[in-house]
Amino acid sequence: MSRETPTRLLREQHVHILKVADVLDEILARDAAAGDLDFDAVADCVSFIRLFADALHHGKEEDLLFPELEALGIPRHAGPIAVMLHEHRQGRAFAATMADALGPARTGDAAARSRLVDAAHGYIALIRGHILKEDNILFEMADQIIPDPVCRGLCSAYEGVCQRRFEGCTVTDLEAILARLVKAYPDA
């Protein structure tokens, strides 16, 4: 069996987050073609982004992985960690805009609908570039420098975070949102 790495679970979560970005992209493409936005599916995407991608996943990176990297000498206020933290904040802002605009957009507010769509496009572009950088730069670095005992500690801490609830949702509930989106948009 290959060695457990400090980033395996986070990389697996990236695959789920990218899948939701692909579904959201498909929803927007269908809307652009037919002028019919699937608000229920957008709401699912926004919930997944807020609770799984941000609260659970970015929370683990910011509270667990990045401090270990800092302790090993990677600076927090410059270089890859600083860039990742900045992009997390940008992602949070896009998610908040989507969440705020969703209700009024549903009831026909055209300005809110256009804020929603713009923020969704912004989020998709941001998260794809962000995950590419994390997987290929920061996580490669983490896998090289984090020693085995720290790696084991991190993995059990990740598992602990996965036992929490996020606005009342368990990780299983959030995975069910992902499964529903993939079922509704199998070609995304």
Across the strands, what pairs with 56? none
Nearer to Fe ion, 14 or 115 (CB): 14
Nearer to Fe ion, 161 or 184 (CB): 161
Minimum separation from the CB atom of position 140 to Fe ion (A): 13
Counting residues that bind Fe ion (by CB under 5 A) gives: 1
**86 HSE (CA, 13 A, CB side):** 10
Minimum separation from the CB atom of position 29 to Fe ion (A): 25
Q: Which of 131, 164, 153 is nearest to 59 (CA)?
A: 164
Instruction: Please state whether 108 falls in left (phi above 0), alpha (psi between -120 and 50) or beta.
Output: left
Binding range to Fe ion, per CB under 5 A, among 23-31, 34-42, 68-76, 130-138: 130-138
Q: Which residue is nearest to Fe ion (CB)?
A: 134
Query: x/- site string to Fe ion, residues 79 to 118, per CB under 5 A?
Result: ----------------------------------------
**134 HSE (CA, 13 A, CB side):** 30
Check the CA dihedral 44-46-51-57 and report its sign.
positive
Nearer to Fe ion, 26 or 134 (CB): 134
Minimum separation from the CB atom of position 83 to Fe ion (A): 12
Binding range to Fe ion, per CB under 5 A, among 71-79, 111-119, 133-141, 162-170: 133-141
For residue 127 the two structure tokens come to 């998260």
Check the CA dihedral 89-91-97-100 and report its sign.
negative
Fill in the amino acid letter for 132: L
Contact footprint for Fe ion (CB under 5 A): 134
